[in-house]
Amino acid sequence: MPETPEPALRVALPVPLPRLFDYRPPAGERAGADWIGCRVRVPFGRGEGEQVGVVVAVGPPEAPPDSLKPVLARLDTEALLTGELFESLRWAAGYYHAPLGEVLATALPGPLRGGQELPETARFGWRLTEAGLAAAKGPGREGKPRQLLLALAARALGEDLLDTQIPDWRAAARSLAQRGLAERVALAGRPEPAPVASAPELMRGQADALAAIREGQGFRALLLEGVTGSGKTEVYLQAIADALAAGRQALVLVPEIGLTPQALARFRSRLGVPVLAYHSGLADGERARAWTAMSRGEARVLVGTRSAVFCPLPEAGLIVVDEEHDASYKQQDGIRYHARDLALVRASKLGVPVILGSATPSLESLHNALQGRYRHLRLTQRAGRARPPAVRVLDVRKRPLVNGLSEELLAAVGACLARGEQALVFKNRRGYAPVLICHDCGWSAHCKRCDAAMTVHTGGRRLVCHHCGARATPPNACPDCASLALMPQGAGTERIEQALAERFPEARLVRVDRETTRRRDAIGKILEDFGEHSGILVGTQMLAKGHDLPRLTLVAVVGVDEGLFSADFRAGEKLAQLLIQVAGRAGRAELPGEVVLQTHHPEHPLLNTLLAGGYPAVAALQLAEREAAQFPPYAYLALLRAEAPTEGDMQAFLREARDEFSPREGLWLNGPMPAPMARRAGMARGQLLLGAGQRAPLHAALHDWLPRLQALKSARRVRWSLDVDPTDLY
């Protein structure tokens, strides 16, 4: 009988190939089940190339055993990826039709992906040196360093406790360390309980929602729909407290980095345990420590953006997805996963409840609630004494506008300032103006690499493409007719800020957009400095959600009209969500709020529906339209995108891809067609759209289609990707 070959290690590597790679274990070792889930360093490619991969199986090699290369090093003594997380990642690879190695690499923080050892997760704190103790007894200049010095005078304090007691203490700690007054030390033992703020009395709707969450056992999907300011976060907090009391962990997803500081501060003050953060604004080492602490069960609560959905939960008790409708949960490059959907899959495999919270739920989640797949919980009243803001529509047709602002809107801002309150002027377009045009001949400044106009920045002194990042200096004269009549057309946040500064020179004025918030925790620091002073905030959608400003009583929305006319079938849903979210910033405390919508189309059906029936009416209308048109959630889509330096290569690939598709009953294929932006960053772009009425036939078709695409010679001349459940068609 032929001799049975030694089992090989089947390794998933972070390469864009849908296969596993066989290796033999190092000399003197035998491949066994204890290797599965461990990272290994292996030779790969020509020369001295190496890769770090994960062993996902052990079995007979597909190639002759003598041809297999040995593993260079086993990096983990125990499996790093196990159990539910391993199975969820396998599910994600299958559902999104992505290479398993790339999915596993996406789930790991950078240092672990690169093969580094698991970091130490010991608690650290700060204590005073002998010089620091002496300095604390003497006089000193007031400030954060002095505040921290006095706080540490009695005893060393853990960093988790400092987070709750002294905001922005880290800069002060560095200052004390540089002067030899304080030092960072490892702390032994469990973290001491932090002072816990008392929980407010729940309103009836909140109490009913919490009771529903507490009912039953195991996996349950709950859609918590609550008007802005209704106290959804309080429901989260008490549900998380229940999980902690049962000795379980909780994961909270938020859509943007800017929301994490406020969420962390509130959660830390209420839960009495260290609450870790996980998002791209943190250093690689911090993310690796948080991931490892959750993996070991040492950390109990994690708050993070979409990538946090990959953190291990060995003692899971609850998953929360706040602002579940937000498009930020969809990854738009690499592995195009949706964190909300993956959170649902993980909760199901873990057997724990998942709460999807939003004032404006996605139509997919609403449809699932209507179908009985989710339990639908509603909070219809604002918490405390807060009342919904009054909404006023300003018809600006035939009325003069100053930098995009009407006199009525400016008067409303002035009245707000006169009362000593705060106003938010919302414009979802950054920069000074959307385009630079010639008033004489109509020429406009376009990006040479994209089918898009360049945005005017810094008061007209710079042109920037918001799609590829190209920059240029505006010409002195029109390149077409030599006219000097070059004019910025339209208004962005910079221009509105300038106009408001000229009109209200004494007012405190702060702009919040991508340009002003590049630094870590910038939004939180800006809003903390703004405080409760009377003034004006000018900003984009960064300010539309999550932030709580008690003295903000006026929200003025400029430029509603851009979202009323769009070819995107999701445009109506997105605009309604944005308007409801930004309007919800007004009147969240005891002061009454007002929302002013400035528009040239006051009779538009979407606006009328929104004003008459709120978001539920818009959602019902949009769902009916989607059903008639067979768009999601009544159909399932996959988008094949392709881009190449030349139009010919891109079109050739898409035509061959279409020809390789095998028609099936219940499926349809549209294209090739140009992308909505047909040229971006110098690349010609096109796409094929595949749809089906049922999910299973769509995935079966993709499973058969993808190997044929990968075998096409034309595929080597293009960059292509598959997006399952695309949130936009760009």
Tens digit of pLDDT for each residue in 340-355? 999 999 999 999 999 9
Per-residue DSSP letters for 186-216?
Answer: E--SSPPPPP-PPPPPPPHHHHHHHHHHHSS
The shares of helix, strand and coil residues in the chain, as percent rounded to the nearest 5, are 35, 25, 40
pLDDT of residue 192: 60
Beta strands in 517-551 (DSSP E): 535-539
Q: What is the largest CA-CA distance in the chain?
A: 95
CB of 642 within 8 A of CB of 684? Answer: no
Compute how many other C-beta atoms are within 10 angstroms of the C-beta atom of residue 332.
12
CB of 632 within 8 A of CB of 364? Answer: yes
At 520, is the pLDDT very low, low, confident or very high (cuts 50, 70, 90)? low
Tens digit of pLDDT for each residue in 680-729? 999 999 999 999 999 999 999 999 999 999 999 999 999 999 999 999 87
The token pair that represents 453 in the structure block? 């106009």
pLDDT of residue 195: 61
pLDDT of residue 74: 94
Nearest CA to 294 out of 277, 270, 282 is that of 277
Nearest 10 degrees: Cα torsion 523, 529, 534, 537: -20
Strand 667-680 with 683-692, pairing:
antiparallel
Across the range 524-537, mean pLDDT stands at: 80
Distance, CA of 608 to CA of 602 (rounded, Å): 8
CB of 537 within 8 A of CB of 424? Answer: yes
Tens digit of pLDDT for each residue in 254-268? 998 776 777 787 888
Tens digit of pLDDT for each residue in 10-20? 999 999 988 99
At 2, is the pLDDT very low, low, confident or very high (cuts 50, 70, 90)? low
CB of 113 within 8 A of CB of 288? Answer: no
pLDDT of residue 1: 43
At 247, is the pLDDT very low, low, confident or very high (cuts 50, 70, 90)? very high
H or E element that contains 648: helix 647-660
CB of 438 within 8 A of CB of 444? Answer: yes
- 565 phi and psi angles, rounded to 5 deg: -130, 105
Across the range 381-386, mean pLDDT stands at: 69
Distance, CA of 319 to CA of 349 (rounded, Å): 12
Distance, CA of 685 to CA of 687 (rounded, Å): 7
Block residue for tokens 């962005």: 492
pLDDT of residue 728: 84
The token pair that represents 48 in the structure block? 């001295």
Block residue for tokens 């309103």: 203
What is the residue-averaged pLDDT of the chain? 88
C-alpha angle 611/616/618, rounded to 5°? 60
Per-residue DSSP letters for 39-52?
Answer: EEEEE-SSTT-EEE
Nearby residues of 352 by Cβ (< 8 Å), 6 or more positions away: 218, 219, 248, 316, 317, 318, 319
Tens digit of pLDDT for each residue in 15-52? 998 899 999 998 888 888 999 999 999 999 877 789 99
Indicate the range of 67-76, 156-165, 170-179, 563-572 predicted with least confidence.
156-165
Tens digit of pLDDT for each residue in 185-212? 887 655 665 667 778 888 999 999 999 9
CA dist list (Å): 697 to 627, 660, 702, 703, 704: 19, 17, 9, 10, 11
pLDDT of residue 386: 60
Tens digit of pLDDT for each residue in 354-381? 999 999 999 999 999 999 999 999 998 8
- Check pLDDT > 50 for residue 476: yes
Predicted structure pTM score = 0.89
SS3 at position 516: coil
pLDDT over 70 for what percent of the chain? 95
At 490, is the pLDDT very low, low, confident or very high (cuts 50, 70, 90)? confident
CB of 483 within 8 A of CB of 440? Answer: yes
The token pair that represents 462 in the structure block? 């710079």
Block residue for tokens 């077409």: 480
